[in-house]
Amino acid sequence: MRWKVVIGNLGSILKIFGLAFLVPVIPAFYYQEAPVFFGFLPYNAVVFLLMSSLTVTLGIPAKAYGRAEDFHHNEAIVLVSSSWLILALISSLPFFLTFTLSCPIDGFFEAMSGITTTGATVLPFPLEDHPQSILLWRAVLQWIGGMGIIVLSVAILTKLSSGGLSLLEAESPGPSITRLKPKIKETAKILWFLYSLFTLLLFILLLGARVGVYDAVYHSFTTMPTGGFSPHTESVAYFSSVVQWIIIFFMIIAGVNFSLHYQCFIGNPKKMLKNPEFRTYLFIIFGVTIVITLLSVVSSVADISVLDALFQVVSVMTTTGYTTVNFDAWPELFRLFLLLLMFIGGSAGSTGGGIKVLRILLIFKMVKRKLIEFINPRRVMVVRMGDTVVEENTLNTIAMFFVAYVIIFAIGAIIMVGLTGDMISGIAASATSLGNVGPGLGLVASDFRSVPASGRLIMSLFMWIGRLEIFTAVVLFNPSLYKKSKLRNLLSFEIRK
Amino acid sequence: MKVIIIGAGEVGRSLAESIRRKGHDVIIVDKSEKACEKARYLDVKVVKGNGARPELLNSLDIKGSDYFFTATDNNEANLVACSMAKSVGCKTMARIKGLEYITKEVSQRFTPIGVDYAVSPELLVARKIADVITVPFAIDRNISMGGKLKVTEFKVLTTSRIKNKKIKDIRFPKNINLGAIVRENQVIVPHGKNVVREDDTLIVMTEGKKAEKKILKLLGTKRSSVERVMVVGATSIGINVAKKLKKRGVDVKIMDESRKRARRAAEILKDVEVMRGDARDKNLLVEEGILRMDALASTAPSEEYNVLVSLLAKVYGVEKTVAVVQELGVKSLIETIGIDLAASPQLQTANTMLRLARELNPLKAVPIHGGDIYLLEMHVDDDSPIVEKTIAQSDLPPECIIGAIIRNGKTIIPRGEEKFKAGDQVLTFVLKEEINAVEDVF
């Protein structure tokens, strides 16, 4: 472990991230938001300008101190996991510098919820009372966090490209990263290009549906990363049904593997239509929606329209977290459906969270294989995804991921049930945080304000663990990573010679 | 004509022998002294050395050669040698082992580097096995005229409806022609009064699917294909047999004792049951349903293993068994002990190469039943003495059966009164000794 390499690259990332603080300066100026004025400058604009320069200046000495060299796999993992923590800490500062939130833990929660695209909030309602610059800051965080700050850095910085694959694998969702181009930098560029393209498209469509510019920017910033923040207390219910349909469509897009979008983009839509994960993904979305709508009609326990059912299902399944109805008031069975959807999440290689459809699909196939092997131990079978055979090694990692996910969820559920005193709320809080969804059930149905500060801190860490898909995040707690550092240094030195 | 063969293994020697018999000059080259020693029994020139070396090839005067075959164990050497031979104008053919470079039985994908035909022994033998195994009672099969006509060797079992009947009483439908009966290794040219016995092998020419169904009905089954087949040995051959059978809708199970090979089979074969286990284990065979199997193909690398497994399957009442053998000498021996077909990749390769080398056999003769009888393809020229004569009027020897006449693209299964016309293509079943006599008539 060469810390200098980690710190040096962290410096580069900070320099890029610092620019993000400039976006909220625009509404801060426009709306003249300020408790106090500094000369002609409104206070909130000053805060964000200050934050921007501070972050950039923090990056310069870090980069100067560190070494900009190729890194090894372990350094890549530490770089990714630590930079997400550090960036969340830095992004939390504006929340109490502008006196929006008083407790640092709340700020950290809000920033982490933003950057991990969770979308859970501790801001007091109604949201409309808060400064537009702060609200927009949450959206900016989600947009950057969606495709990933590391992917962005790899796309921009030349230095990161040589060890870039390790970085991308550590950050991006899903079991494996598909190289769209032989060069990892090109791959990162394409991902960000497609992501920006979809964001722009959604923005234009929203404008066409007569949404205001600010709201259109906001929701295109928070839909594509499957984030879920909204500047309105009633979330997307604030808008017309046309807008809701548009947002449903783009949430579904955001939950699809971006390499499939790329295939469509280069004129190969068959690859998407034939992809088993994509098919399963749509099957689950529409299957659950149909079941909910039919059951609600047949049993007449609740009056749920197709639009409402589809919106909540897509929002929860893709781990976006917008709401158009209070689904916490739905019958128990439907609430259970939504809770289970939180675990499944989006597709691998999408911006969605959760376990991922691909993993769930492969786990089902593994279980089926085990059953057949149990009946006939001599049977030799492989697990296939479409026509490709999945390596045993990959299957093993996926099974372990699933187990780790469930264990961590259980730990979170125990803590949260203890802290809130309510079973459903605790379970939902743990599931929604780990899956980067946002809304939960019961006490955490719309926000996390009824959760004590310790619970908020733990759930912030759960979002971080969930976003980095457990292994990358948890590795940071592994003491051997630090102990062996001297030995590793020596080894790497030897190899270099 | 002058022919050079690189590699004096089974394929090389078999090729050399056949080509020599047709009266051509053959030079055979091999690196190993042992292989050269074996080739010295043939009436050909034997040269020891690396056949891919330019110096050696020049010393053999390849410029004056017409055909150039390579059949060493080294694919790359085969390709390189062919490439060099092509540059001086030879027609070239290479045997390509394994499935890394080749995906078709006979491939022309190497023509840009100077190989006219690349031949895959594994795929050829896999097709042979699949062809034979799918048809009930069939123990060998040749296909002519672009798949329209099939010459099949059927075995007569106790269940057969034509058993102990005189041929004139059987009343074969049209589109079916009986070419020969093989009884205890004796070829009998069929006449009306001959009686079909159990364990006879009938050599039958059929045209189209309907004819095949009818002959199968006569032989005592309503099925046109076997239903369940076990393949033992997940080698390249075994995997391809399974693949082909699966394609034809047969229920296939494949078994291998090695976990690695079984896993590879599972990766390649979708929807085929792959088992790990030693097929010599009787209990295991029974557990895997050997009693319900219609056929078994043993395609493991070892021929002793294949023979053992096939015999074991026979014990359990499997109707048809096929064993892959490497040594050509044991083929007929194995077929006499009850295994229906001893399939040899080497023999398939040599036969295919010979067939592709058209100029080497002006007589288009396909050996049937190990070469005791030939399917001869003759062309009726304008000035042929046979034009406008019926079969009975012609001077054809009585041991010759006209299988089919192809006239203007149409196939005719002829009766005695059919007249030959100029431009006809005539397929005849001819005893080995009679080939020259038949040739003279046309």
Report how far residue A19's alpha carbon sits from residue B80's, in angstroms, rounded to the nearest whole number. 61
Asked if B124 contacts B352 with a C-beta cutoff of 8 angstroms, the reply is yes
CA distance B417 to chain A (A): 57
- pLDDT of B260 reads 93
Question: Residue A442's CB: how many other CB atoms inside 10 A?
Answer: 17
CA-based nearest distance B68→chain A, Å: 40
A381 Cβ under 8 Å from any chain B Cβ: yes
* Angle of the B236-247 helix axis to the B121-134 helix axis, nearest 10: 40
Distance CA B227, CA B294 (A): 7
Among B172, B181, B220, B188, smallest CA distance to B202 is for B181
In a domain, A383, yes or no: no
pLDDT at residue A298, rounded to an integer: 86
Domain spanning B2-119 has what CATH number?
3.40.50.720
In angstroms, the separation between the Cα of residue A356 and the nearest Cα of chain B is 25
Cβ <8 Å between A380 and B259: yes
Strand bridging mode B25-30 / B45-48: parallel
Identify which has the larger pLDDT, B358 or A424. A424
What residue ranges do the domains of chain B occupy?
Answer: 2-119, 126-219, 228-348, 351-441
Three-class DSSP category at A66: coil
A376 and chain B in contact, CB less than 8 A: yes
pLDDT along chain A (497 residues), means of 10: 80 88 87 70 84 89 76 79 90 87 90 92 87 90 87 69 65 62 78 92 94 92 92 89 94 91 88 90 95 87 86 94 90 92 90 90 94 91 87 88 94 94 93 92 88 93 90 76 53 41
Decide if pLDDT at B70 tops 80: yes
Q: Homologous superfamily of B126-219 in CATH? A: Regulator of K+ conductance, C-terminal domain (3.30.70.1450)
Mode of pairing for the β-strands spanning A37-38 and A41-42 = antiparallel
Q: Do B288 and A387 touch (CB under 8 A)?
A: no
**Three state DSSP letters for A224-260:** CCCCCCCCCCCHHHHCCHHHHHHHHHHHHHHCCCHHH
pLDDT at A492: 45
Among the residues of A255-319, which ranges form H helices?
258-265, 269-274, 276-299, 306-317
**Among candidates A376, A382, A384 on the partner chain, residue whose Cβ is nearest the Cβ of B263:** A382
- Per-residue pLDDT band at B236 (split at 50, 70, 90): very high
Coil, strand or helix: which one is B343? strand
Look at B270-279, B348-357, B410-419 and tell me which has the smallest mean pLDDT.
Answer: B410-419
Instruction: Test A381 with B277 for CB contact under 8 angstroms.
Output: no
In a domain, A2, yes or no: yes
Instruction: Quote the Cα angle for A110-A115-A121, to 5°.
Output: 25
pLDDT in tens, B242-277: 999 999 889 999 999 999 999 999 999 988 999 999
pLDDT value at residue A36: 65
CA distance A453 to A433: 15
> Which one of A378, A381, A382 has the shortest CB-CB distance to B277?
A378
- CA-to-CA distance for A304 and A288, rounded, in angstroms? 13
pLDDT at res. B356 = 85
pLDDT of residue A494: 40
Per-residue model confidence (pLDDT) at position A114: 93
CA distances from A79 to A13, A65, A351, A473, B346 (A): 10, 15, 20, 10, 60
Residue A143, domain member (yes or no)? yes
CA-CA distances (angstroms) from residue B145 to B65, B349, B391, B406, B422?
30, 20, 22, 9, 19
Return all residues near A488 (Cβ < 8 A) that are at least 6 apart. Answer: A1, A2, A72, A74
Q: Which of B267, B273, B284 sits opposite A379 (nearest CB)?
A: B273
Residue A36 lies in a domain: yes
The backbone region for B147, taken as left when phi is positive above 0, alpha when psi lies in -120 to 50, beta otherwise, is left
Tell which residue, A125, A126, A226, A223, has the closest CA to residue A432.
A226
Which residue segment(s) compose the domain that A124 sits in? 1-172
pLDDT the model gives residue A161: 54
The CB density around residue A362, as the number of other CB atoms within 10 Å, is: 24
Contact between A378 and B273 using a beta-carbon 8 Å cutoff: no
Q: What is the pLDDT of residue A493?
A: 42
Q: Quickly count helices (H) and strands (E) in chain B.
A: 14, 23
Q: Taking the CB of residue A482, how many other CB atoms lie within 10 A of it?
A: 12
Compare A284 and B209 and report the one with higher pLDDT. A284
Query: Taking the model in full, what pTM does it have?
Result: 0.82
Average pLDDT, chain B: 86
Q: For domain B351-441, which architecture applies?
A: 2-Layer Sandwich (3.30)
Minimal Cα distance from A379: which residue of B? B275
Is the C-alpha dihedral spanning A168, A172, A176, A181 positive or negative?
A: negative
Q: Is ipTM > 0.90 here?
A: no
Residues of chain A in contact with residue B239, where contact means CB-CB under 8 angstroms, are none
pLDDT in tens, B175-199: 788 888 888 777 888 877 888 888 8
Q: Check residue A487 and give its pLDDT.
A: 46
CA-wise closest residue to B11 among B328, B403, B357: B328
pLDDT in tens, A69-121: 677 777 788 888 888 999 999 999 998 888 888 888 999 999 999 999 998 99
**Alpha carbon distances (Å) from A472 to A141, A459, B169:** 20, 17, 83
Closest CA to B157 of B294, B292, B249: B294
Q: Does A384 touch chain B (CB under 8 A)?
A: yes
Task: Look at A378 and B267 and tell me if their CB atoms are within 8 Å.
Answer: no
Write down the residue that tokens 């802290």 correspond to.
A419
The closest of A475, A386, A399, A431 to A169, measured between CA atoms, is A475
pLDDT of residue A115: 92
User: Looking at residue B23, what is its pLDDT?
Assistant: 83
User: Looking at residue B137, what is its pLDDT?
Assistant: 80
Contacts of B263 in chain A (CB under 8 A): 380, 382
Q: Show Cβ contacts of residue A238 under 8 Å, excluding neighbours closer than 6 positions.
A: A230, A232
Q: Write the CATH number of the domain with boundaries B228-348.
A: 3.40.50.720
> Would you call A375 an interface residue with chain B, using a CB distance cutoff of 8 Å?
no
Query: Is A179 inside a domain boundary?
Result: no
Residues in A touching B277 (Cβ below 8 Å): 378
Q: What pLDDT, on the 0 to 100 scale, is given for residue B59? A: 87
Q: pLDDT (tens digit, 9 = 90+) per residue, B17-49? A: 888 888 889 999 999 999 999 888 888 999 999
Phi, psi of A279 (to 5 degrees): -65, -45
The DSSP line for B261-309 is: HHHHHHHH-TT-EEEES-TT-HHHHHHTTGGG-SEEEE--S-HHHHHHH
Are the beta carbons of B119 and B353 closer than 8 angstroms?
A: yes
Phi, psi of B187, deg, nearest 5: -90, 125
Question: How many structural domains compose chain A?
Answer: 1
